[in-house]
Amino acid sequence: MNKMIPVTAFCLCGAFCLMYLLVSGKVSGDDYIFFMLLLLLLPFSLKGFLDYRQVSSKEKNYPVFVRDLTLNIKTGMEPVRAIVMLEDNDYGALGNDVKLLASNLKLGVPLGEALEIMAKNTKSRKIKRTISVISGAVKTGGRIEEVFTILSAYLLNDREMKSEINSKLFTYQLMFFIIYIVFIAMNYFLYNNILPMMGESGFPVDVDFYGMLMFRSTMLLAVFMGLVSGKLAKGSIAGGVPNVFLLVSIGWVFNRTLL
């Protein structure tokens, strides 16, 4: 809930800026094209981002599920019984998949088939790979407890390493925003100082053309920087969608209020 406060405040500021521009008549053809593209791409981008968030949440909670399953198996439970005992645990977005897995096992679905259904529903390659290991261990029998112990330790260690890497990459993601703000500041300096001085010195300078060029370059830079920052920090282009909309909004507001 606290995260929604700055987002709401930013959206209100953007709405007031848009109203001001509409009233003052400063909206150009590029602005209409920009808003049309934004409205067309918003549903697809939002869906992709929500799917990414859901899969990311499942991958984050999956090591905890395997750890709890390993603990149940260590107490002497059969794999089916150990899974059913976990259906009421809180695993975030993965909780529905665990409940579906437990329900299928209660209905008599073979464990291997039930695990394959769960792997398909998660839509995560990482979870699919580990579930195939679990399914193979259950089918072949043997010392299942050791397999689950090793797999659980690997997943938990991988989760910690990923969290540490993401925290370090956040610094680089922040650098993208700083570079973008510096680029906008340079455009402001060029537009309000260098170009008028060139015009006063006798050079033929079309200020409106350069203003349009700066606006379009700012929008394009926002899109690609946002996608690259998402790929760098979160490992997925879909994870950079919020950065794209944030950078595009910042660029549009600054360009239309300063230039």
62 and 48 within one domain:
no
Q: How many domains is the chain partitioned into structurally?
A: 2
The pLDDT-based confidence of 3 (bands split at 50, 70, 90) is: very low
pLDDT of residue 15: 54
Cβ neighbors of 138 (< 8 A, separation 6 or more) are: 79, 111, 112, 115, 144
Range in 6-15, 105-114, 121-130 the model is least confident about: 6-15
Q: Are residues 48 and 110 in the same domain?
A: no
What is the distance between the alpha carbons of residues 71 and 101, in angstroms, rounded to a whole number? Answer: 18
Residue reference for tokens 């149940």: 72
Say yes or no: 168 and 244 in one domain.
Answer: yes
In a domain, 217, yes or no: yes
**pLDDT above 90: percentage of residues in the chain:** 6
Q: Does residue 133 surpass a pLDDT of 60?
A: yes
Residue 45 lies in a domain: yes
| Phi-psi category of residue 27: left, alpha or beta, with phi > 0 → left and psi -120 to 50 → alpha | beta
Q: How far is CA 56 from the centre of its chain?
A: 8
Does 207 score more than 50 pLDDT?
yes
| 146-200 per-position pLDDT tens digit | 888 888 888 888 888 877 777 777 777 788 888 999 998 898 888 888 888 887 7
Instruction: Give the domain-ending residue among 137, 159, 181.
Output: 159
Span 32-77, pLDDT tens digits: 667 766 666 677 677 777 887 888 889 889 999 988 988 888 888 8
pLDDT in the model for residue 37: 66
In a shared domain, residues 112 and 206: no
* pLDDT given for residue 24 in this prediction: 54
Whether residue 144 contacts residue 73, with contact meaning beta carbons closer than 8 Å, is answered with: yes
Is residue 116's pLDDT more than 80? Answer: yes
- Are 46 and 169 in the same domain? yes
What's the confidence (pLDDT) of residue 1? 39
Give the confidence band of 244 by pLDDT, cuts at 50, 70, 90.
confident
Question: Which of these three, 120, 144, 159, is where a domain ends?
Answer: 159
Question: Cα angle vertex 170, ends 164, 176, to 5°?
Answer: 155
Question: Is the same domain home to 62 and 45?
Answer: no
Inform me whether the pLDDT recorded for 6 exceeds 50: no
Are 223 and 249 within 8 A, CB to CB? no
Identify whether 176 is part of a domain: yes
pLDDT band with cut points at 50, 70 and 90 for residue 141: low
pLDDT at 99: 92
Is residue 7 domain-resident? no
* Burial zone of 45 (CB within 10 Å; 0-12 exposed, 13-18 middle, 19+ buried): middle
- Alpha helix positions (H), 93-206: 95-106, 111-122, 125-140, 144-189, 195-200
**pLDDT at residue number 145:** 78
- Judge residue 71's burial from the number of C-beta atoms within 10 Å of its C-beta, 0-12 exposed, 13-18 middle, 19 or more buried: middle
Residue 70 lies in a domain: yes
A 10 A CB-CB count for 179 gives 12
Global confidence as pTM: 0.68
Quote the DSSP letter at residue 78: -
- In whole numbers, what is the pLDDT of the chain averaged over residues? 79
9 inside domain: no
Query: What confidence tens digit (pLDDT) does each residue in 210-236 have?
Result: 888 888 888 888 888 888 887 777 767
Residue 210 is part of which domain span? Answer: 26-52+162-258
pLDDT at 5: 45
Kindly state whether residues 45 and 167 are assigned to the same domain: yes
Cβ neighbour number for residue 125 with a 10 Å cutoff: 11
What's the Cα-to-Cα distance from 197 to each of 188, 190, 255, 257, rounded to whole Å?
Answer: 14, 10, 20, 21
Clarify whether residues 170 and 140 are in a common domain. no
Average pLDDT of the residues in 89-94: 89
Give me the residue label for tokens 């490992």: 235
Domain final position from 114, 143, 159? 159
